[in-house]
Each structure stands twice: as C-alpha cells, then as structure tokens.
Chains A and B, each alone.
Chain A
C-alpha cells in the first residue's frame, strides 16, 4: 500500500468506521436512513457532544470529570424550577419570578459554579480529580433530588421547549447550539493561549509551571467550563423532554468519556483533539441508535458498546504505532 493512502486511512480511521456503520445500518434497517431518524440521532448526540467538549478539555489536562451527568441534572432542574415556580421566600414576603432567559442563565451558572467547586477541590486542596468529581457526582445528584423533591418538573412553556425541539434554517436548534460550542472549542484549543496551556499542563505540569504558566488557574478554568457545558447539555435535555427529570443524565459521564477516548484523546493528558471527540460522539450516537433499530436487546447493547470502546482504543493504539513507523 502506498504511504499516502496508508496515512490517509489512518488519519480518517474514525470517519471510516463511522461511514461503515452508516452504510451497514442503511442496508440492514429500513428506518436508519430516514430524515426523521437522522435528525433524531443528531439531537440525541448533541447532548453528549456538549458534555464531551468539557470532558475533552479536562482529560487533556490529565484529569477526569465524573460529575458531568449529575451537573447536567441539577442545572436543568434549576432552570426548570425557577422558570416554573420562581423563588419564594415567605419570611421576607419576597417572590422572584424568572423569565426564560433568566432561568437559562441561572441554569448555566449552576453548572459553572459546581464545576468551579470541582476545580477548587482539585487545585486548592489537591484532591485527585477522580475523587473530587466522584464526590460531586453524588453531591449534585443529591441536590437535584432535594430541589425537585424527587418529582419531575414539567410544563415549561414554548420558548423553553424551542431550545431542544425547535428548528432554525431547516436544522434542529440543539444541533445549532452544539455546533457553535464545537466551533468555539476548536478555536479555543487551537488558537487561544488557554488552549495551548491546556495541552502543556497535560503533557508536563512541572515544566509548564516552571515556564511561568499558572497551572492551577488553567485547571480551574477547565473544570468550570466542563460544568458550564454540562449545564448546556442539561438545558437541552430538559427542553427536549419539556421536563426536568431528577434522574436525568445518569451514566452520561461514561458515554462522554467513551466519546473522548474513541476520539483518540489520551487519558494521561496532553494529546487529543476536539474534532476527534466529535467523531467519537458520532460513533457512539449512531451505534446506540443502530442497536435499537436492529432490535438488539438492551442487555446486549451494553456488551456491544463496551466492546466497541475497547476495539476503538486498540485500533487507535495500533495505528499510532504504524504511523510512527511510516
């Protein structure tokens, strides 16, 4: 095989895998290649892409964020609750109502704040990221239960529903929102100082610190961004279902980590890309959808998904070795 072809194949391996899956599903299922289903898949994927953008940044610094699913839930619930019920403080005889925009901003700030707390635990108190975000996974889930009383908050109105279900220029709104975030993240990682610092910190924290980088600040920003993007995911989910579910986003951290890893980002930090993660999220999304359409039992779905993750990482590792030998 000539070198250029080999190189191209290796470079686009995720896309090729994705293409093969799409062709396979188009032939073996009737519904896969319909307009409805395609947009449906894209809408579903957009939530995971949002979470995975933050996750990519975190993993690039050599960390991990297990709390994205729970932060998604609390952020969606805060936005939904404020929009529907406002805040009432009987002692002060005070009631604050929230507009659509106010509720959305409050939801986003909730995510940012919890992400910031993750960052604080990791930088100020030197708690390992795995432990700090594991704690936040539980805390944020508990807060969601407290806030919702364990019941869904429903009936959020048309403008709120527009975020998750609306269309703009023939493309679903959540896909637009996600696309904008992806573009911003690509610019951030490739063209902004912070992006360069994220890679540097993930590759060699000591050398980065001695080169005058504020390592702790980089981490604070990254975890805060991860929280914020989880909140975006939370708003999208809540809006699509027109309901904030107390158990929304459970296990989403796993799909998100899987997307990052399938996308070729190294769990030890310093190597990977946003575009890789988007491809990883697409592969997982199409796989999830395909397995349902193929009537595979939910039990087998989990087994197959796990195997795909394993296979993707093995292929990525092998192709990296081949690349080094070209």
Chain B
C-alpha cells in the first residue's frame, strides 16, 4: 500500500485533550485515507473514543489541529462535522426510542411536501430502500424502542448511509449484532470503500481485522503507538502494542471437576406477548451441573436473553414448564425469588440493567443483598466498605477506592462490579449474558479467568455469547438456540464454528 503518496482525507496533528485529572489524549497523530477501512485499536481508556469525539465535532475544545483535505478545520459542533461529510455511529446508540425508524433516520432533515408538512410517504420509502440495501426487514414505521439492540444498530448504520458521509466513524459496530448481520455490514463496508468513503473502524474484535481492515492505528494510554497497513501486523503484534506486554494466546479454561445437576429446566415455554401462536421460548429443556460452564450460542433474536429473563422471573408467571434447583422444584415469579433461589444474572446491558451508574462501587456491590451490610437494622458503612474491598481484591477491580462512582470506571471494571454484586448474593447458578461486550482484550482474559475460577468453586455457569471463539474457548458444553428453541448440543471438541452456525441459523432464513 502506498500511504506515502496517498494523502489523508482527514488527519489529526498533535492533538491533546485534557479532562479533569486525566490527560485523555497526548500529542496524538492520525491519518484517515479515503477508500480504506482505517482500524483504530486500543484497550478501553486508550483514548479512541475521545479522539473520535474530536473528529466528529462532539468535543470542540482540544489542543492541536485537524486537517480535512489538507486544510486546517475546527468543527463548531457535531452538525458542522456532519455537514462536512463526517458521520459517527456511536457505540451507545443515539436513537430516540419513541420515534419510528424512519423518523429517526431523517431526524432534523425530514423531507417536506410542497405545503411544508413532513412527507411521511417519502420518508418511509427512502427508509425502506436504505434498509433493503442492508438486507434488513425492519419496518420503517416500527418504533425504535420495540427493536432489539442489533436491529437498532442497523438503523444507525442506515442513518449514516443516508447522510452520504465521506467519512464514517464506526465505534464497535459489531459489538451487538449477529454474525449474519456482521457479514452484511462487512459487505456494505466494502461497497462503501469502493465508492471512496473512508471508514474509521473501532473494534475490540481482532479477528475482524483480517476480513476488513486496510490500515491500522494503535493507541495506548492516550498515546499514539504505531500505525501502518494492516497486512504488516500479526495478531500478536497488535495485542502486544495494545497492552504493552506479551500475552498468551487465547484463553484456555482450567479443568474442573463437574458435579451434580444444579439447575434443571424442563419444557420451558413463553408465549409472545403480542403475537398470537408465536413463542419467545418453546419447549426448552436443559440442565447445568456444578462446576460446569454451559455456553449458549445463538444469533440476535434467538431467544437467549429471553431464556435468562424468563428463568429469572422477569416475565412473572407467564411461562409454562418447570425449573428445579438442586433437584427441588422452584417457582420463580420475580427476580427476588430468583435471587433467593440462588441465581445471579449479569445482564447484557450493563448500563441500563446492571449498574446504578450514579452510585459508588461499594453501593453497587451490596445492592442485591444489602442485609449482609446491616447492623441492628441500619446500614453499616464499615461493613459495606469491607464487603466491597473483599471483592475489589478478589476480582482485581481497578478503582481508586470503594466510594468511587462506577460511572468513572472502564467497561471491564464496571463489568467486574456487576459480577461482584452477584457473587455477594452467594449464588449457586450464575447467568452471564454477553459478559465481555464492550470490554477490552486485557480485561476480557481476566473475565474468562474469573469465570473459570468461579466454576472451580462449584458454581453452575451459563454464558450467552455471540462471539464464537469465546463460546468455544470457555464452555464445557455448548447449546445452540434459534427462534426460541434449542437446536443443537455440542461438546467443545465436537464443535466447530461451521457446526454451531448452521445450528444457529433460523430455518426460515435458510429456506
């Protein structure tokens, strides 16, 4: 690749950004080339997101300069950057829940009829065309709040496509979408490249780089480390530059002795709340043993999260079938009963369902079983701090202290706080829904290690993940779900990516 003669379409020169107490970016350079996928790599806290917010006009105060087509430019805000052809798809989706898909895509630029009213028909038609390009069957007039995370991501992508952007920044676009949707996305990225669009691609999934990255830039601790054509980097080089130390190859789980059944689920079914004769879960039966890590693989919408929610009592009494713990039939109609029965549930959406973001590390850890830090009916701050200290040490949570607001922690450490909260309830069964989503490479391995240790202590662990290598690496047994049903069971030695995928693909799509 001839980067030497190629001129960057967008460049950052000696950019620094200071936050209270933190130098988030330190004299950073970056070159973005048209018609290429420019991958930006780095652990959480490396400064990637900060730099992207500068490139997209979200942060307007910084030191250094940006060059757009070799001309110095200083964005006055996101709208300014957008007008100059820069679109950003944030990791945390920026859609308005109550509005429809079409209204979201054309928010602020609604097509008007000759009389000055919103032209809903054109809006819906344009939206349908955009979504068709993405091979998506999402209805233009469905409310965004009724879509799953994966579908919302597609809407975001459609939105930036509709902006005709020259530079599209994608912050971990594949973190929440299914493999099938990833393939569509990659196909799209390739066609965008062919049209000369520059893609800035932030990801934690290193195995994606082979498929799409043209150039790679690596950051660490707010500093520029290295960059170059993607072909010149091996995965080991990249990890080494990202973490600043050598890393073992992918995680290998410890062998632990597997005991009796701890959870048995028989014929669990859950009707679709809106559609008649449609099921969210249908006749699901499985079991997990003490010390076992049961991986559940499935595409988005396969019913994995619904399975966890259902067993955990989120749907109240509306399910049929039976659940037994340690061989005893239990009736779980709400999360309290689930917790009392010994289940802990690390939800897929850390911010909205896992943490009380304004509260401290200690307050989050004690939340699900606060009785244990009470003395004579009053909360004991001492006991609470001690509980938190135990888990901070045990799970190696990086935090300045127990009273730190969880908001300020990195994704990996926030996830550990959520796990600590559930361990503090002394569960016998732990549900992990996408436990490493939005977590950087170093912290991912720590979480795998933790899962393995917890299994070693006799917990029955069920992990849902859409990352195949992860499922293959740490599961003792793998179940595959599709359309609310179990469609396959494998041991790790039998399982291959192809076998799992073919079991996961809905029959209705295959046909």
**A interface size (C-beta, 8 A):** 25
The reply to whether B367 and A211 contact each other, CB–CB distance below 8 Å, is yes
The reply to whether B358 and A270 contact each other, CB–CB distance below 8 Å, is yes
Beta-carbon nearest neighbor of A323 in chain B = B20
A320 at the interface (CB under 8 A from B): no
The reply to whether A210 and B345 contact each other, CB–CB distance below 8 Å, is yes
Distance of A203 Cα from B314 Cα, bound (Å): 19
Which residues in B have their C-beta under 8 angstroms from that of A199? 356, 358-359
Distance of A240 Cα from B214 Cα, bound (Å): 80
Contacts known (A192-B378, A193-B370, A270-B358); A206 close to B336, Cβ less than 8 A? no
A204, A207, A270, A326 pick with most chain B CB within 10 angstroms: A207
The reply to whether B352 and A196 contact each other, CB–CB distance below 8 Å, is no
Contacts known (A192-B378, A193-B370, A211-B368); A206 close to B353, Cβ less than 8 A? yes
A174 to chain B, nearest CB (A): 28
A257 to chain B, nearest CB (A): 21
The reply to whether A207 and B336 contact each other, CB–CB distance below 8 Å, is no
Contacts known (A200-B367, A325-B20, A326-B20); A207 close to B312, Cβ less than 8 A? no
The reply to whether B20 and A206 contact each other, CB–CB distance below 8 Å, is no
Query: What 0/1 pattern do residues 180 to 215 of B give for CB contact below 8 A with A?
Result: 000000000000000000000000000000000000
B229 at the interface (CB under 8 A from A): no
The reply to whether B358 and A196 contact each other, CB–CB distance below 8 Å, is no
Which residues in B have their C-beta under 8 angstroms from that of A195? 379
Distance of A210 Cα from B377 Cα, bound (Å): 23
Distance of A260 Cα from B369 Cα, bound (Å): 30
B357 at the interface (CB under 8 A from A): yes
The reply to whether A204 and B379 contact each other, CB–CB distance below 8 Å, is no
Query: What 0/1 pattern do residues 340 to 381 of B give for CB contact below 8 A with A?
Result: 100001010000111111110001000111110010011100
B304 at the interface (CB under 8 A from A): no
Which residues in B have their C-beta under 8 angstroms from that of A212? 335-336, 338-340, 368-369, 425
The reply to whether A206 and B352 contact each other, CB–CB distance below 8 Å, is yes
The reply to whether A210 and B314 contact each other, CB–CB distance below 8 Å, is yes
A222 to chain B, nearest CB (A): 17
A199 to chain B, nearest CB (A): 7
Distance of A271 Cα from B363 Cα, bound (Å): 14
The reply to whether B335 and A210 contact each other, CB–CB distance below 8 Å, is yes
Q: Which of B20, B353, B371 contacts A210 (CB 8 A)?
A: B353
A190, A193, A199, A208 pick with most chain B CB within 10 angstroms: A193
A94 to chain B, nearest CB (A): 42
Distance of A271 Cα from B357 Cα, bound (Å): 11
**Which residues 248-295 of B have a CB within 8 angstroms of A?**
none
Distance of A187 Cα from B379 Cα, bound (Å): 10
Distance of A19 Cα from B356 Cα, bound (Å): 36
Which residues in B have their C-beta under 8 angstroms from that of A211? 335, 339, 367-368, 421
Query: What 0/1 pattern do residues 198 to 237 of A give for CB contact below 8 A with B?
Result: 0110011011111111100000000000000000000000
Distance of A204 Cα from B363 Cα, bound (Å): 13
Query: What 0/1 pattern do residues 152 to 185 of A give for CB contact below 8 A with B?
Result: 0000000000000000000000000000000000
Q: Which of B357, B363, B425 contacts A196 (CB 8 A)?
A: B363
Beta-carbon nearest neighbor of B312 in chain A = A210
B72 to chain A, nearest CB (A): 28
Beta-carbon nearest neighbor of A200 in chain B = B356
The reply to whether B356 and A210 contact each other, CB–CB distance below 8 Å, is no
B338, B353, B356, B363 pick with most chain A CB within 10 angstroms: B356
The reply to whether A203 and B357 contact each other, CB–CB distance below 8 Å, is yes
Q: Which of A193, A214, A271 contacts B374 (CB 8 A)?
A: A193
A8 at the interface (CB under 8 A from B): no
Which residues in B have their C-beta under 8 angstroms from that of A193? 370-371, 374, 379
A191-B379, A199-B356, A211-B367 are known; give 13 further A-B pairs, CB within 8 A: A193-B371, A196-B363, A196-B370, A200-B359, A203-B356, A204-B357, A209-B335, A211-B339, A211-B368, A211-B421, A212-B338, A212-B339, A213-B336
B interface residue numbers (CB < 8 A to A):
20, 312, 314, 334-336, 338-340, 345, 347, 352-359, 363, 367-371, 374, 377-379, 421, 425
6 nearest CB pairs, A to B: A212-B339, A211-B368, A191-B378, A212-B336, A203-B356, A211-B367
